[in-house]
Structure 1
Amino acid sequence: MKRIILAIIIIGILLVGCIQTNQQDQQNQQNMQYPKVENFIVFNSKDEMKKYLQSSSSSPFWFEFGGGVVRGDVVLDVAYPQAVPKSGYELYEEKSLPERVSETNIQVAGVDEPDIVKTDGINIYFSQVRYFYLFWEKTIPNGGKTKIIKAFPPEDLDVKYEIKKGGQLLLLNKTLIILNHDTIYGYDVSDKPVKMWDIELNGSLVTARLYNDKIYLITRSTIDYYEPCPIKPLTYNGESLQIACKQIYHPIYPIPVDVAYNVIVLDPKTGDVVKAVSFVGSSGLSVVYMSKNAIYITFPYREDVVKIYYNFMKENEDLFPKEVLERVEKLKEYDISNRAKYVEMQVIIDQYANSLSKDNRLKFRNELWNRLSKYYEERKREIEKTGIVKMSLNLDVVANGEVPGRILNQFSIDECNDYLRIATTVGMTDTTNDLYVLDGKLNIIGSIKDYGKGERIYAVRFLMDKAYVVTFKQTDPLFVMDLSDPKNPEMKGELEIPGYSSYLHPIDENTIIGIGKEGKDVKISLFDVSNPEKPVEIDKYWLNEYWSDILNTHHAFLIDEKHKIFFLPASKGGYVFSYEDNKLKLVKAVNVPALRAIYIDDYLYIIGNKVVVLDENSWEKVNEIDLV
């Protein structure tokens, strides 16, 4: 039976929990002058950037950082807009306003994330899109349409307007932002939707956040190795936004590079660029986490493969004749790229192997593979790392650091009281998992290593002074770890549970919902974690569904604490579960292929190819409309 590891880590150094800074603190941070980060320097010329790219091209991953917004050859100094927005409700009569409106399920309270459904409590904005999948990550949707649906009061349910563009949505008052994979649109939706602006991306959109009336975009641009700069991440009003060579930063050590990541702040009302920075990294591998204090961008990389092979050969001289070692030693002095050196090293080793008899060649190759595997296993934390860059909300580089291993997604990272917590998987075949605590300068101050050996992380959730980590393998211990002393973490408890959870949602500090799979079915678990030494799966429910969109995105999950229910969308229908009295109970099933749900007052709106409205007091259907 397939099982999971759910690791609960008590981070005792944060006894008072994560206290959000107030507006004055955030304003002070924006005005703060940060010291220069010594590990990042600018390119002095295009030739210098080309040389850096050449030296970085052999590594599997890489990163670079850029700052300064340029149109043509002029660097733009731009300031954040100071206008105070009006409430989104001011356009409606006060008597018609609902008292309760759900929000998108997000990671950090107040930092909004794009999704296919948004609501202002009166209207529902729903983008019917086609999704594309890359490995385990859902990419930004492409195509489709966006419907504006009159939702409240429910008896007036109707499609009001349709926009011929689709994508993920952000909503600020009566400004609707549609984020497609290659274009961003801004619409005034105070009445009939009117397009105010659009931006063409010269690349693709990675993610976005909406905070303090600003949009933070992260885009990805392909690197031209012959003309690497200026970087041109977008086109607006017929002009290319350009970032010149001397405004592009990079780490002092070479790491793998094939794309540029651009962090761009936009005014949502006008589409104007407020500020931007760029960095280079590996396509499809960087993860973005944004708190109310900072933006963290990660980039995975490996130690220089030539250096790894060379050190291995020096430690295993009995495998190679003297002339092979001398040729490899001389190779280090060649003024060629690391990729070329790696190819030459392989040629040298292959030439030696081919000079052997068939029997000796077979023995050599097996011995080489065996020793290389052991060498990597002993040094995997030195070889495979995740670099981290911390930026202020003004896009100043504040700190940089690194941890061993690779991270799963944004939930693998969490900031709390100026500490950063990050969970990683280390290794490719013989995997293990670590959790690290870093200080404000991104220095590691504490860690828990080697839990879930032979597995990889499937889900992570940080909650105040605790962390919950799910790993997947054939057995299923639930690890409980205490980090009261960050330098001496201690294992506290263990539990075995079947299946795996790929999304964890805290109900309160003692209870967590886990949604994942067991065998072919979607499984829902209810965990009591009040006693770290004895975590308990107090209830579980197997749903006769193969898949739920919650397994792809946390945005598909909805919880209504007033009615003690949560919503789970699936291919056959939408399901409403009660968690009252620590029991999982299916209270309502609606035969609609569901994608999302929201609540307005005491009405639950299930959204898919229809919108079905349920009265949460009786669970009777109130209204419905077709969207096909």
Structure 2
Amino acid sequence: MLFASGCLFDFDSSKDYTVTEMKTFQSEEELASYLKTLRESFEYELNSNYYNLYYGVNADWADENSISARSLNFENGRLPQRINSTDIQLKNSNEADIVRISGNVIYYTPDNVYLSNERPFTKYHAEKEMIYDLNLNTYEIDIEMPQSASVFSEIAPSGDIFIDGNILVATDSVSVMAYDIKNPAEPKLMWEKNVEGNYSFSSLYDGKFYTVVRQKTYDYPLVYMNTTVPFSDVYYSEVSNDFYTHLETVYYISQLNLSTGDLEECIAVIGQDSSYNRKGSFIYSAEDDVYLVNSYFPREDRYAEFLVSHGSDYFPKSFIKEIKQILKTPDFTEYAKEDAVSNKIENYTADMTDRERQSFMEEIDKGYNQYLIDEGKGAEQSVVIQIHLPDLSVDSGVIPGSLVDGRSMDKKDGYLRVATTAGNENRYMPANRNNGVYIFNSKMDLVGSLNYLLLDDYVTSACFIEDSLHLIRPNESSPRLVIDLSNPNNPELAGDLFIFGYSVYLQPIKDNIVLGINQTKKGQLQLTLFNISNKTVPKELDSYVSGDILTSWTYHTFSGYMFDEKRNILLVPSSSGVSIFEIKNNTFNLLKEDTHRNGTVIRAVFVDNMLYTFSEKEVHVIETESWNTLKVISIPQPNAVYYERDYAVGYV
């Protein structure tokens, strides 16, 4: 069923079940009281059956040194995290990347640090395990003579890299370091800062360095880098009890002096962390703005309330009586109640066939969603927070639903476009879902929207292509839904786009030409060029099937696909390196299979008539006239060492 509405989402401010836009505190006392309330709520949950059931922890022994405490995000973290990587086209210098160029030197930090024996945890004991040496660095590669290019020096730490003139800034999960690289052979450390939390994002803008760092804290006052954030610079959203509210994370957005590292400005945003829900929070940057999205989901104990009041339509009286008893249990939190109710339903449906069970649950879900509508509870809602650089001013807007996926936000011509999906994904799908797109201006005023799209249908991905939004469904035989965004104030439904099999990914190449990426039934990589000048009637131009079997990296990580419009060169990562194509007359011409000994190429860059391809262990120098490999540069690797440390081995 297809239905679309152009109306803006209407919140009734007279009701207390909505999520508000961001606001600041009116006094230090109000901020202190707010943080105290959050702490008391979290301590109650930590001692609850929910944590004992799932994690085997309680507040008495979850100290800051235990692995369980770390898994609950108490520690700042010591493993480098490649959070803010861009694609393999070197973009604006204000964006972080793992490859940067200054003069005749390439700075490269490989992405190859991970724990080898991570396991779920419910028990707690010590055992030896292998872990890679964490002291990786950023490597300096001399490319003045490409045929003899080599690593000649290194600096710490490994991580995302920025270069501004003669200053290089490198970030990892725990620190920021700035180096004077006027003499690359002898880089000089200018300053070093501990990020005092979990690094989430950074940006270089107008000679200033900006970071977004998240902390688990309820301590008053809020102090970052020895600076107290005043109450008037602390932002929060009021969220009613109808939603899950894991407001245990403070996001510090800071401005650092690039030459000295001194903290010049700082604000704080109280919000959610993604550890409780994969869509709990999201960070996106575009132009001179950083966006933080917090999504809130309806509490599942409302589901239990629904079963009490309407469950007789589906269950016997004895079942409803047991649900009532669960809700009355005083030491059960909402999470423990949710789990207990779910177990009851699972046991009740155990003797049903899969088809019977799905039909039964979908019928209940339809009734529950109608109950939420009748009671004014609604589905999930999201706060989109805009932090403007350089002054760190804040605007925000509230929209229904949560982001479809990591490509659900896009900014064009000053307008932020956001694709959302609404409908409880913790129960059976696709029943009772609602999808939409919302458009904000530079002041975060909602100027256009189109919602109630694909009712009762599940959307797996969103893709913005110029003035269009594609909503993609999991069934390969289902068409994409295309929305025309050429008028930000009045988005319109363009229609269905039938590109069979291409539910995976579409990458814009140039005007009206897109690259479709999918896998064949044999698991092979399949590439197709389309002309989409007609938004709903694509024309297939050419297709190429590789003998390569798609790996999880190449299938799900699309940041490795690169198109150089000047040269008409397309680079496609493969399990063994990268495939290099020339796109000429809208056809594929395979120029080279660049094979790396450890596998997939994660970055590439053109410098003059040379192409440099980067994997975790190698850098290849390729001459672009003959496409011969002139040099293979080995990247130093971490040593495998053994540590005896506490870690969890368990069962679920």
Are 1:583 and 2:587 an aligned pair? yes
| Contact 2:472/2:481, CA 8 A, preserved across alignment | no
Name the residue aligned to 1:563.
Answer: 567
DSSP 3-state at the match of 1:562: coil
Flag the 1:523–1:221 CA change in 2: closer, same or farther, 3 A.
farther
- Residue 400 of structure 1 aligns to a residue in which SS? strand
Which amino acid in the other structure matches residue 583 of structure 1?
T
Asked whether 1:547 is paired with 2:547, we answer no
1:229 aligns with 2:220: yes
The separation in 2 between residues aligned to 1:598 and 1:423, in whole angstroms, is 31
In 2, Cα distance between equivalents of 1:559 and 1:161? 31
Instruction: Give the structure-2-normalised TM-score.
Output: 0.69
| Structure 1 residues 442 and 116: CA distance shift in structure 2, 3 A | same
Which deviates more, 119-128 or 372-381? 372-381
| Gap change, CA 1:591 and 1:109, over 3 Å in 2 | closer
Using a 3 Å threshold, how does the CA distance of structure 1 residues 171 and 459 change in structure 2: closer, same or farther?
Answer: farther
**Alpha-carbon spacing, 1:535–1:54, altered in 2? closer, same or farther (3 Å):** farther
Residue 211 of structure 1 is matched in structure 2 by: 205
SS across alignment from 2:602: strand
Read off the aligned partner of 2:411 and give its amino acid letter.
Answer: E
Verify: 1:496 aligned to 2:499, yes or no: yes
Change (3 A) 1:627 1:205: same
Query: What's the secondary structure of 1:46's corresponding residue?
Result: helix
2:619 corresponds to 1:623 = no
1:479 to 453, 478, 481: 481
The amino acid across from 1:421 in the alignment is R
1:115 is displaced (CA, Å) by 2.2
Aligned position for 1:243: 229
Structure 2 residue runs of 5 or longer lacking an equivalent are 7-19, 51-84, 120-132, 352-356, 637-652
SS at match of 2:365: helix
Select between 259-268 and 437-446 the one with higher mean Cα deviation. 437-446
SS in 1 for 2:479: coil
User: Residue 607 of structure 2 corresponds to which residue in structure 1?
Assistant: 600
- The Cα RMSD (Å) is 4.5
- Mapped to 1, the partners of 2:359 and 2:618 lie a distance apart of 62
Cα distance between partner residues in 1 of 2:216 and 2:169: 25
How do residues 533-544 of structure 1 correspond to structure 2 at under 5 angstroms?
A: 533-543=536-546, 544=548
Matching of residues 331-350 of structure 1 within 5 Å:
340=333
Structure 1 residue 510: Cα displacement: 0.5
Aligned equivalent of 2:125:
none
Cα shift at 1:147: 0.9
499 and 514 in structure 1: CA distance in 2 versus 1, 3 angstrom threshold: closer
Aligned equivalents of 1:349 and 1:574: distance in 2? 46
Following superposition, the deviation at residue 250 of structure 1 comes to 1.7
Contact 1:41 1:252 in 2 (8 A): no
Deviations 1:367-403 (A, max 9, x none): 9966642234555992222221122222222233223
Tell me which residue corresponds to 2:535: 532
2:258 alignment counterpart? 268
d(CA) in 2 for partners of 1:571 and 1:307? 46
Alpha-carbon offset, residue 312 of structure 1: 6.2
In structure 1, C-alpha distance between the alignment counterparts of 2:109 and 2:346, rounded to whole Å: 59
Could you tell me which residue of structure 1 aligns to residue 436 of structure 2? 434
Higher RCO (CA-CA < 8 Å; seq separation 6+): 1
User: Residue 288 of structure 1 contacts residue 298 of structure 1 at CA under 8 Å; is this kept in 2?
Assistant: yes
Amino acid at match of 1:395: L
Give me the whole-angstrom Cα distance separating, in 1, the residues matched to 2:336 and 2:558.
43
Q: Which moved more, 1:583-592 or 1:159-168?
A: 159-168
Is 1:513 matched up with 2:503? no
Letter of the 1:170 partner, please give it.
F
* Higher alpha-carbon deviation: 599-608 or 466-475: 466-475
Question: Is contact 1:385-1:406 (8 Å) kept?
Answer: no
C-alpha displacement of 1:161 = 0.8
User: When the two structures are aligned, how many residues end up with a matched partner?
Assistant: 527
**Distance across 1 between alignment mates of 2:134 and 2:445:** 36
Whether 2:268 is the aligned partner of 1:278: answer: yes
Q: Deviations over 1:396-447 (max 9, x none)?
A: 22233223133311x3112234432111233324245433333443436321
Deviations 1:508-535 (A, max 9, x none): 2201123454452333232211111302
- Report deviation, 1:317: 7.3
SS in structure 1 at match of 2:137: strand
CA distance in 1: counterparts of 2:108 and 2:180, whole angstroms: 15
- The whole-number CA distance in structure 2 between the counterparts of 1:173 and 1:554 is 30
Are residues 1:117 and 2:103 paired? Answer: no
Q: Tell me what 1:32 maps to.
A: none
Q: Which of 440, 447, 457 lines up with 2:450 in the alignment?
A: 447
Aligned to 1:70: none
Aligned letter for 1:615? E
The alpha carbon displacement at 1:188 in A equals: 1.7
Q: Call closer, same or farther: CA 1:122–1:470 in 2, change over 3 Å.
A: farther
The CA distance in 2 between the partners of 1:271 and 1:540, in whole Å, is 51
1:584 is paired with a residue whose SS is strand
C-alpha distance in structure 2 between counterparts of 1:309 and 1:108, whole Å: 51
> Partners in 2 of 1:352 and 1:563 — Cα distance?
59
In 2, the alpha carbon distance for the partners of 1:352 and 1:473 equals 28
CA distance in structure 2 between the partners assigned to 1:371 and 1:493 by the alignment: 28
Q: Pick closer, same or farther for the CA change 1:366–1:286 going to 2, 3 Å.
A: closer
Secondary structure of the 1:497 match is: coil
For the 8 Å contact 1:296–1:390, the answer to whether it is kept is yes
| Change in CA separation of 1:247 and 1:314 when aligned onto 2, cut-off 3 Å | farther
1:185 matched to 2:180? The reply is no
Residues 230 and 518 (structure 1 numbering): CA distance in 2 closer, same or farther, change over 3 Å?
farther
% identity of equivalent residues: 21
Equivalence for 1:391 = 387
- Name 1:416's counterpart in structure 2: 412
For 1:4, the equivalent position in structure 2 comes to none
Quick one: which amino acid aligns to residue 183 of structure 1?
Answer: S
Structure 1: how far apart are the matches of 2:140 and 2:634?
A: 13
- How far apart in 1 are the matches of 2:440 and 2:536? 25
Read off the aligned partner of 1:46 and give its amino acid letter: A
- Cα distance between partner residues in 2 of 1:517 and 1:273: 48
Q: 1:587 offset after TM fit, Å?
A: 0.8
User: How far, CA to CA, are the matches of 1:524 and 1:112 in structure 2?
Assistant: 32
Query: Match of 1:579, SS?
Result: strand
- Inter-partner Cα distance in structure 1 for 2:342 and 2:160: 51
* Cα distance change on mapping 1:548 and 1:266 into 2, 3 Å: farther
Matched letter for residue 248 of structure 2: D
Q: Deviations over 1:467-526 (max 9, x none)?
A: 344443342423333356755733434213225434x43222201123454452333232
Q: Distance in 2 between matches of 1:245 and 1:438?
A: 27
Distance 1:308 1:176, change over 3 A: same
**d(CA) in 1 for partners of 2:538, 2:297:** 36
Which has the larger strand fraction?
A: 1
**Alignment partner of 1:51: what SS?**
helix
TM-score (norm 1): 0.71
Q: Is the 1:377–1:430 Cα contact (8 Å) retained in structure 2?
A: no
1:296 aligns with 2:291: yes
What SS is found at the alignment partner of 1:472? Answer: coil
